[in-house]
Amino acid sequence: MPRFSVIVPAYKVQAYLHACLASVLTQSFTDFELIVVNDGSPDGSGEIIDEFAGRDHRITAIHLPENVGPGHARNAGLSRATGDYLLFLDSDDTLAPGSLRAIADRVKETGGPDLLVYDYERTYWNGDARRNRFAGLLAQSGPAAFVLDDRPELLRLLTVVWNKAYRREFVERRGLSFPPGYYEATPWTHEALLAAGSIAVLDRVCVHYRQRRRGNILATTSRRHFDIFKQYDRVFAFLDSHPELERWRPVLFGRMLDHLTAVYNVPGRLPRSARADYFKRCRSYYRRHRPRKYRAPLGGRSGLRCLLVRLGARRTFRALGAVHRLRLRSQARATAGCGRIREAALRLHYRLQRRRALDPDLAVFSAYRDRGYVCNPAAIEARLRELAPHIRTAWVTTLEHAHTLPPGVRRLQPGSAAYWTALARAKYLVSNAEFDHRYTKRAGQLNLQTHHGTPLKHMGLDLREFPAAARGTDFEQLLQHVDRWDYSLSSNRHSSLTWERAYPSGFTTLEYGQPRNDIFQRATTEDILRIRAELGIPRDSTAVLYAPTHRDYRGGYRPELDVDRMARELGPGFTVLMRTHHLYDTGAQHAAGQPAFLDVSRHPSVEQLCLASDVLLTDYSSLMFDYANLDRPIVIHAEDWEVYRASRGAYFDITAQPPGLVARSEDELTDILATDAWRGPRSAQLRAAFRERFCPYDDGNAAERVVRRLFLEDHRGLRGLPEDTLPSVIPLEDRRPAPAPGQARALSSRPHTGTLSVSASLASSDH
């Protein structure tokens, strides 16, 4: 008996069925059967099902002689199911990686409930993804298992069947089955929630709900939408046959009204000729199912909607709907008008501020387009306050990231009057990206571009031959921004040559190293042990920091590696730290049930994560160049290197000149990590050559070199100190980077010869 039976009805989905079935079969949790029902599909769906079934014994293929609809197709799957729990998946949707493992673990944690409700996200044809707007209802707080009376708000969730796992014994005991029709999920969903003796929730996206460009069957214009009335007849018939559930009648009556009017309001659902008849039916159903002593909501849109349906006032309902839509459009236009007025006022303010004298003691910093106190600008700003306290610093960031600013650093809200005043008057401007494109550099201002890593992938003008990566970049505007730069920071000769070619302009290159990496030479033994303890890494565990880069050739976040499987196969001696790229808003969404897994995607400092780890696992992230300064092992997962290089371009072949061992598949990767090859002599040999090439200046003094060169005056009163007065570069062989965690444990009684606490750097890396 398998743990799960996953039931997939299929009808005219040949373009999506491969992805759907593969998303189930590639799950790291393998104790399941997959029942695929060909609902008399006229396209190639049946052949696809048979092809998959021929390759995998876990698939049961059912071919119905004629199309009976998704409800009856699911019933056919139910009749063959043998799993402890039933899961449904529509054939154009997919399971998120690691979902079955997370569901299995949550079922076990909550004592085997009748129903487990999990979350989903809508995925769009253009690559966008949006999580269910009611995701907050799935918070895993309170009792692990409960009944609907404890959390009645679950009835507000979308009436779909594929966001739940159902205990098969519960389904069979209650005699649950799907009726025919367009809205067959409505009675099933309500009956399951009402009848469940125990319910649990899983606050995790387990299903990617595909939003087709042309919509789904419920988005078609047809009188078949009248089917919704029959389905609510079934819901209330269920209530009639279960007097003990009578208390739910007012709630379900309200849900019915919301659902009926929602169908009426959606453009294109009902034929124009059927709208009057539909609304008349809504009034009839109001009278038919209205509970005795029912009190309609007072006031608000909900109360008014209820009143108009009760009166059958369709024209008024339609008119008020039109008024509401007009009001929304008017508000949008008014907001846009106010925005234009404000924009004009700010432009005038900026022009006036530019007439004032520059402030020689003001420096403005930003990073990653206002994401917070991170990366090279943060390391430079911190050192500047130490060496030149007379210079005031201000940081451009949003309120969301305000908490990252250290005491004494003024926050500038992007686009505010204070922001434009600072850009107009500051002597110094430092960023790893660009300031607002409307900013115009003044004579006397000094701009430092710090970049955010050593380039492996193509950048700047070199992207002109890679449209997937360029994505409509305005190269003329890019060069206008580059012409603002006075200085370009570089950490090695490779970077210097790349920046000067990719961003041709008259700037001066400063080969000083990456200031954000200073912490790797200054962190103490106590720092490392403290960070690991704060992250929850077991004392003797080997921490693998997995930091993949993003892929330009596809939209949205898609995992390159089954982290769930890797964490499980490596065993309890390892802890995987998953760090997704900063371009993605989502966390890792992997391995939720794995104790040897930590999602550190939103941790504020990638440098602290590097210090806490024993080995870096990455693909093509620039983090490898920074991590090499720690002289710790690096493993490259290069399964799609050829595709990545073709779509983005690369300045050299990382598989030919790697910083450590290279894995071309997940199996190879597991072997490298499980056999200790990752820290063997070949790994050390490759890393030494890599460090010699790419880490010549990262000796812990990069930030000081920048501050002394740009901000301090020498004894002659000249801005910018001569090169021979800057801190000398410590040779590689004389550096003593922060000890690896194993060394830190052994030396915990003898602090490392460092003076700067890790807390002085909250830098983040662009993988």
Query: What element of type H or E holds 371?
Result: none
Answer yes or no: is 136 within a domain: yes
For residues 74 and 207, state if they share a domain.
yes
- Outline where 613-734 has alpha helix (H): 623-627, 641-648, 666-674, 681-694, 702-710
Answer yes or no: is 684 within a domain: yes
pLDDT in tens, 287-306: 899 888 777 766 666 777 77
Residues 6+ apart with CB under 8 A from 169: none
The phi, psi pair for 135, rounded to 5°, reads: -60, -30
Answer yes or no: is 321 within a domain: no
Answer yes or no: is 251 within a domain: no
Check if the beta carbon of residue 146 is closer than 8 Å to that of residue 61.
Answer: no
Can you name the residues that pair with 642 across neighbouring β-strands?
Answer: none
For residues 69 and 135, state if they share a domain.
yes
Q: Hey, what amino acid is at 166?
A: Y
Answer yes or no: is 594 within a domain: yes
The residue to which tokens 């003797």 are assigned: 540
Answer yes or no: is 439 within a domain: yes
For residues 67 and 192, state if they share a domain.
yes
pLDDT reported for residue 214 = 55
For residues 608 and 482, state if they share a domain.
no
The phi, psi pair for 395, rounded to 5°, reads: -125, 130
Number of domains in the chain: 3
Instruction: Return d(Cα 221, Cα 553) in angstroms, integer.
Output: 35
Q: How many CB atoms lie within 10 A of CB 696?
A: 16
Q: Which of 158, 192, 217 is the last residue in one of the domains?
A: 217
Check if the beta carbon of residue 384 is closer than 8 Å to that of residue 393.
Answer: yes
CATH code (residue 580): 3.40.50.12580
Residues 6+ apart with CB under 8 A from 135: 119, 203
Q: Mean pLDDT of successive 10-residue segments in the chain (767 residues)? A: 95 90 91 96 94 94 94 96 96 90 93 95 79 86 90 91 96 94 92 95 91 64 88 93 92 90 84 90 90 72 77 82 76 80 89 93 92 92 93 92 88 93 95 90 94 91 78 82 93 92 90 95 92 89 89 64 79 86 51 63 87 93 94 93 86 93 91 90 94 94 94 53 75 93 76 41 44
Instruction: Return d(Cα 542, Cα 545) in angstroms, integer.
Output: 10
Can you name the residues that pair with 407 across neighbouring β-strands?
Answer: none
Check if the beta carbon of residue 519 is closer than 8 Å to that of residue 704.
Answer: no
Q: Please give the distance of CA 715 from its chain centroid, rounded to a whole number.
A: 51
Q: Which of 463, 488, 512 is the last residue in one of the domains?
A: 512
Per-position DSSP letters for 569-629, written without gaps between them: HH-TTEEEEE---TT-SS-----TT-TTEEE-TT-S-HHHHHHH-SEEEESS-THHHHHGG
pLDDT reported for residue 361 = 93
Classified as helix, coil or strand, 632 is: coil
The residue to which tokens 């790291």 are assigned: 28
For residues 603 and 470, state if they share a domain.
no
The phi, psi pair for 212, rounded to 5°, reads: -65, 150
pLDDT reported for residue 268 = 77
pTM of the model: 0.64
For residues 392 and 369, state if they share a domain.
yes
Check if the beta carbon of residue 257 is closer than 8 Å to that of residue 297.
Answer: no
Answer yes or no: is 265 within a domain: no
Per-position DSSP letters for 151-212, written without gaps between them: -GGGGGS---STTEEEEHHHHHHHT--PPSSTTTHHHHHHHHHHH-S-EEEEEEEEEEEEE-
DSSP state of 357: P
Q: Residue 50 has which token pair?
A: 């048979």
CATH code (residue 70): 3.90.550.10
For residues 503 and 531, state if they share a domain.
no
For residues 420 and 523, state if they share a domain.
no
Q: Which of 196, 217, 238 is the last residue in one of the domains?
A: 217
For residues 60 and 153, state if they share a domain.
yes
**Residue ranges making up the domain that contains 28:** 4-217
The residue to which tokens 């005991």 are assigned: 173
For residues 634 and 569, state if they share a domain.
yes
Tell me, letter by letter, the H, E, C secondary structure of 703-717.
HHHHHHHHCCECCCC
pLDDT reported for residue 331 = 80
- Outline where 403-537 has alpha helix (H): 417-425, 467-470, 475-482, 493-502, 518-522, 525-535
Classified as helix, coil or strand, 457 is: strand
Answer yes or no: is 458 within a domain: yes
pLDDT reported for residue 87 = 97
Q: Hey, what amino acid is at 455?
A: P
For residues 507 and 404, state if they share a domain.
yes
pLDDT in tens, 340-350: 888 888 999 99
Instruction: Return d(Cα 301, Cα 295) in angstroms, integer.
Output: 15
pLDDT reported for residue 758 = 41
CATH code (residue 494): 3.40.50.11820
Q: How many CB atoms lie within 10 A of CB 264?
A: 20
Instruction: Return d(Cα 230, Cα 98) in angstroms, integer.
Output: 38
Per-position DSSP letters for 395-436, written without gaps between them: EE--GGGGGGSPTTPEEE-TTSHHHHHHHHHEEEEEESS---
Check if the beta carbon of residue 286 is closer than 8 Å to that of residue 264.
Answer: no
For residues 587 and 493, state if they share a domain.
no
Q: Hey, what amino acid is at 188?
A: W
Q: What is the largest CA-CA distance in the chain?
A: 95
